[in-house]
Amino acid sequence: MKIYLDGQYVEKADAKISVFDHGLLYGDGVFEGIRLYDGCVFRLEEHLERLEFSAKAILLKLPLSRREMADVVCETCRRNGLTDGYIRLIVTRGVGNLGLSPVGCERPTVIVIADTIALYPAEYYEKGLDIVTVPTRRINPAAINPAVKSLNYLNNVLARIEASQHGAPEAIMLNDQGFVAECTGDNIFMLRKGRLYTPDTSCGALKGITRDAVFDIARELEVPLVEANLTRYDFWTAEECFLTGTAAEVVPVVRIDGREVGDGRPGEVTQRFIDNFRVRVRREGVHL
Ligand code: PXG
């Protein structure tokens, strides 16, 4: 496997970074997780824009232009002979000294990993997920805004561990006011009386690329969509629920905190969104 590391394509065994890299020392950096479908990088421009916004928010100047970054992403896929897979794009503050200040970091580290993806089991899509709310809260937007896809994922990691302690594959995370924010690596939607609802990003959620795709699907399918402050009660009493994310795509939820969602089976509207999304991934990509 070839990995892009600071201007070179190196073998996996040689893809190493310094212990003085601030990405490691402080989680000081940003990243993207991107999917490759049938030789097309799904919504690459949107991912690169989010990376730029994340970098801007943490005052990190990206060393590559949008065009250069896109070329490096595609070239890494080509060099690995991939047509379907998962791309992890990482930019850290770079190598510095021991000390929080990034002043000594001369050059950001840029890494692109392109690998095959372990798909979610088909059962998740056929039967739906059984998920729980966990105690670990999403970060307050006044701290690091959760819209920044930063290398600080510890609260999401803890939430994911708490989910697995309950045997759940994903977890609902609340914000500090107790409203539903999102899941640990997915956004969340629910359906009630023909309207689709999702937490407003001011509730502390990542502006998901898949979430955006679902907004477009809602427009196409003429399902009204509302961004709002939502509580756990809203989700417990919903008719349908699903999660969206680069890894998960669109996946139904059938049980939340021990309460059945609707009739406890993946919903009809959810299925229409899944089907529509699976067509789009082959249409909305940048060809390698
Ligand atoms: N919320 C959070 C906190 C995320 O990290 C999403 C929502 C969904 O966003 P996208 O843009 O993917 O629709 C994410 C994305 C992984 C993995 O390795 C996690 C994500 C993406 C890809 C892989 O678990 N998180």
d(CA 207, CA 253): 20
From residue 59, give the alpha-carbon distance in Å to each of 18, 53, 166.
21, 10, 38
Tell me, yes or no, whether 110 and 169 share the same domain.
no
The total number of structural domains in the chain stands at 2
Tens digit of pLDDT for each residue in 189-227? 999 999 999 999 999 999 999 999 999 999 999 999 999
* Token output for 72: 């490096």
193 counts as catalytic: no
Tell me, yes or no, whether 171 and 135 share the same domain.
yes
Tell me, yes or no, whether 27 and 137 share the same domain.
no
| Residue 58 or residue 120, greater confidence | 58
DSSP E strand boundaries for 122-194: 129-133, 171-174, 180-183, 187-192
Nearest CA to ligand 1 atom 10: 208
Tell me, yes or no, whether 164 and 244 share the same domain.
yes
d(CA 171, CA 13): 34
Tell me, yes or no, whether 221 and 261 share the same domain.
yes
Q: Which of 150, 206, 281 to mutate to test the pocket of ligand 1 (most atoms within 8 A of CB)?
A: 206
Nearest CA to ligand 1 atom 3: 185
**Closest to 274 (Cα-Cα) out of 197, 217, 191:** 217
d(CA 84, CA 164): 28
d(CA 174, CA 257): 13
Q: What are phi and psi of 110, to 5 degrees?
A: -115, 125
pTM score, two decimals? 0.96
> Considering 96, 115, 134, which residue would you say is the last residue of a domain?
115
Nearest CA to ligand 1 atom 24: 185
31: pLDDT strictly greater than 90: yes
Ligand 1 atom having least distance to the Cα of 34: 22
Tell me, yes or no, whether 76 and 200 share the same domain.
no
282 within 8 A of 83, measured Cβ to Cβ: no
Q: Give domain status of residue 288, yes or no.
A: no
Q: Give domain status of residue 100, yes or no.
A: yes
Residues near ligand 1 (Cβ within 6 A): 33, 156, 182, 185-187, 206, 208-211, 244-247
